[in-house]
Amino acid sequence: MMNEGDKAPDFTLPATGGSSISLSDFLGKKHVVVYFYPKDNTFGCTSEATQFRDAHSDFEAAEAVVLGISTDSMRSHELFAAKLKLTFPLLSDSDKQVVKLYGAWNQKTVAGITVGLTARMTFAIDKAGVIRKIWPKVTVDQHAADVLATIMDFA
Among left, alpha and beta (phi > 0; psi -120 to 50; other), residue 103 is left
- Summarised one tens digit per residue, pLDDT across range 76-134 is 999 999 999 999 999 999 999 999 999 999 887 878 888 888 999 999 999 999 999 99
User: Over the stretch 29-83, which tens digit does the pLDDT of each residue have?
Assistant: 999 999 999 999 999 999 999 999 999 999 999 999 999 999 999 999 999 999 9
Residue-level pLDDT at 16 = 97
**pLDDT of residue 150 exceeding 80:** yes
The pLDDT value recorded for residue 90 is 98
Confidence of residue 155 (pLDDT cuts 50, 70, 90): low
Nearest to 90 by CA among 137, 38, 43: 38
Instruction: Say yes or no to pLDDT of 1 above 90.
Output: no
Q: What is the mean pLDDT of the chain?
A: 95
**For range 19-37, the mean pLDDT:** 96
Backbone angles phi, psi at 35, to 5 degrees: -115, 135
| pTM (two decimals) | 0.94
Catalytic residue IDs = 45
Instruction: Determine whether domain 29-153 maps to CATH 3.40.30.10.
Output: yes
Dihedral pair phi/psi, residue 65, rounded to 5°: -110, 140
Q: Cβ of 14: how many Cβ atoms within 10 Å?
A: 18
Sorted by where each begins, the domain ranges of the chain are 29-153
Q: What is the 3-state secondary structure (H, E, C) of the chain?
A: CCCCCCECCCCEEEECCCEEEEHHHHCCCCEEEEEECCCCCCHHHHHHHHHHHHCHHHHHHCCEEEEEEECCCHHHHHHHHHHHCCCCCEEECCCCHHHHHCCCEEEEEECCEEEEEECCEEEEEECCCEEEEEECCCCCCCHHHHHHHHHHHCC
